[in-house]
Amino acid sequence: MKLKHKIAALTALPVFLQASLTMSCTAAKIDSTEASVLSKETTAFYENWKNKYLVQDTYVSDETQYYVWYSEEKYSGNNVSVPVTVSEAHGYGMLITASMAEYDTQAKYYFDGMYRFFKAHPSDIGSHLMSWQQCDNGTELIDGANEGSMTEGFCDSATDGDMDIAYALLLADSVWGSDGEIDYHAEAIAVINDIMKYDVNHEYWTVALGDWVSECDKSDPYYSATRSSDFIVQYFPVFAEVTGDENWMKVYDTTYDIINTFVDEYKTGLLPDFIIRDSSGNYIPSPANFLESDYDGYYYYNSCRTPWRIGMDYLVNKNQDSLAFINAINSFMIKDTGNDPWEIKAGYKPDGTPVEDYNDLCFTAPFLVASACGDNSKWHDEVRDTVINYGDDVYYGDTIKMLCLIADDGGWLVPETTENYPFGDINMDGSFTVADIVLLQKYLIKKEILSIEQGKIANVYEDNKINCFDLVLLKNSYLS
């Protein structure tokens, strides 16, 4: 359970098979003596990122708490509270500090401080989820402070922050173990279960906008809406495996159904920020001002993260739907920019029409991951050069850059999620016997079903399928 995993730079090795046989989780195992794969550009940028954005909550005196300072504003003493962080930023910070454990001897100190801040600011709906925003009123950091209020109000969660925090806790369990002050694994399970309960639409099996949607009426347009920046598909099989809840694979498949719909229709891979379900059951771009801006139905400041978020599922899991999305968005962007990442615009309509005439790091950095998935090394090298030499930016662009550099270097961690069982031990009783062969035979004639973990073990032929080849290999191995 405590082995660390990393994806290899630009590649991965299969180690996990889920029950529906549509993907495999992949990672390259390392041990504690392996040298860090992170480049000098990434480690230097981490120091700058940490010094600029990782901040201690000095209002708290009884314990050490840290947060990611996203607004770069401070309370000015005018009785108007100032937003200083959000759960999205907090999830990013926890991912970064866990990923930098080999490099930074203080990573656990910072991570635990961020964990305490997360626990101090729960949502009012899902008690294991995080309130989406914290504001500085000059005496404390408060939740639910609408329009500069100096007092707390009702607070709810945002799905992407919830998912990143859960995944980061799994990483912490793999990196540091859960036998100390914090049981990272138990905390991760609690968060994941609350995400499933409150952040997932159980009628359509889509990721919702936040736990607040669980209180919406079915007639409310937010009830069936989803946000493409929450398509963090690499996490869903992991969540399924650590909790045993195979509903996560329904979310996984439905999410790709939506992604594929847009790829097939527009051919660009450009997903809109917000996606709604129409009266016919089709998923389409949201109208303007659905939740945030005139550009809610465009590829804008939420969905700019999708080349990274969805691309990770190819780097880690070799998912072919992920690759189809990546191929579409890479091809569009290479052609549209003339292979010049500096020409990536800060917003497009789904058909590829630009809606802004400037670039922005948060739109460019995710193509580090997208370009790593393809076979155009020139495009990848141009993107990396652009990202590294972009210059000073703000929290959003810098933090996405930090995460994408880690992934591009091959430093993205994948948590260990299952116990190790002997070869062929499909029934997971601790030994390989004829009972395992019988179980596989019954599965193949549809007399039995296999769990996700059992499916992984049954894939002895290692071709990401369970069929007669596995049975033959299993029998021959037993007889020999």
| H or E segment and range at residue 142 | strand 141-143
List beta partners, residue 5. 29
**Contact, 140 vs 182, CB < 8 A?**
no
- CATH 1.50.10.10 domain span(s) along the chain: 5-409
Q: Which residue has the higher pLDDT, 84 or 34?
A: 84
Q: What is the pLDDT of residue 22?
A: 32
Q: Across all residues in the chain, what is the average pLDDT?
A: 90
The answer to whether 273 and 348 have CB atoms below 8 angstroms apart is: no
Q: What is the mean pLDDT of residues 312-335?
A: 96
| Angle, helix 40-53 to helix 87-99, in steps of 10 degrees | 140
What's the pLDDT band for 430 if we cut at 50, 70, 90? confident
**Per-residue confidence (pLDDT) for residue 375, from 0 to 100:** 86
Give the confidence band of 6 by pLDDT, cuts at 50, 70, 90. Answer: low
Q: Which amino acid belongs to residue 235?
A: Y
Residue 130 CA to residue 440 CA, distance in Å, equals 43
CB distance 93 to 100 below 8 Å:
no
Per the annotation, the verdict on 265 as an active-site residue is no
pLDDT at 341: 98
Q: Please tell me the predicted confidence (pLDDT) of residue 149.
A: 96
Is 152 marked active-site?
no
pLDDT digits (tens, 9 = 90+) for 120-168: 999 999 999 999 999 999 999 999 999 999 999 999 999 999 999 999 9
Contact between 344 and 367 (Cβ < 8 Å): yes
Backbone angles phi, psi at 398, to 5 degrees: -65, -40
Check residue 13 and give its pLDDT. 27
pLDDT-derived band at 470, boundaries 50, 70, 90: confident
Helix (H) or strand (E) holding 226: strand 226-227
Rounded to an integer, what distance in angstroms lies between the CA atom of residue 447 and that of residue 399? 50
The rounded distance, in Å, linking the Cα atoms of 295 and 430 is 55
Smallest Cα–Cα separation from 240: which of 443, 86, 469, 19? 19
Q: Which amino acid is at 464?
A: N
Is the distance from CB of 285 to CB of 295 less than 8 angstroms? no
Report the C-alpha gap between 252 and 321 in whole angstroms. 11
Token pair for residue 219? 């007639």
Give me the mean pLDDT over the 356-377 stretch.
95
* CA-based nearest residue to 395, from 1, 30, 72, 145: 72
Helices (H), 83-183: 87-99, 107-120, 159-176
Mean pLDDT on 191-212: 98
Residue 374: predicted pLDDT: 83
- Supply the pLDDT for residue 15: 28
Please tell me the pTM assigned to this model: 0.84
Cα gap 280→108, rounded to integer Å: 49
Pick the CATH number of 5-409 from 1.50.10.10, 1.20.1290.10, 2.60.40.420, 2.120.10.80: 1.50.10.10
For residue 238, the one-letter residue type is: V
Is the pLDDT assigned to residue 2 strictly greater than 80? no
Confidence of residue 36 (pLDDT cuts 50, 70, 90): low
Q: What is the pLDDT of residue 24?
A: 31
Catalytic residue among 160, 194, 199, 273, which?
Answer: 160
Q: What is the spatial distance between Cα 470 and Cα 453, in angstroms, rounded to a whole number?
A: 16
Phi, psi at residue 275, to the nearest 5°? -125, 130
Of 17-26, 266-275, 360-369, 422-431, the poorest mean pLDDT is in 17-26
Mean pLDDT on 380-402: 97
* Mode of pairing for the β-strands spanning 14-17 and 5-6: unpaired
Average pLDDT on 359-383 reads 96
453 band by pLDDT with thresholds 50, 70 and 90 = low
Instruction: Choose the catalytic residue: 88, 112, 194, 360.
Output: 88
- Which of 169, 170, 166, 173 shows the shortest CA–CA distance to 192? 166
Q: How confident is the model at residue 199 (pLDDT cuts 50, 70, 90)?
A: very high
**CA pair distance 407, 393, nearest whole angstrom:** 20
Which residue type occupies 339? N
* Ramachandran bin of 282, using left for φ above 0, alpha for ψ from -120 to 50, beta for the remaining angles: beta
Output the six-digit token pair for 477.
């191995």
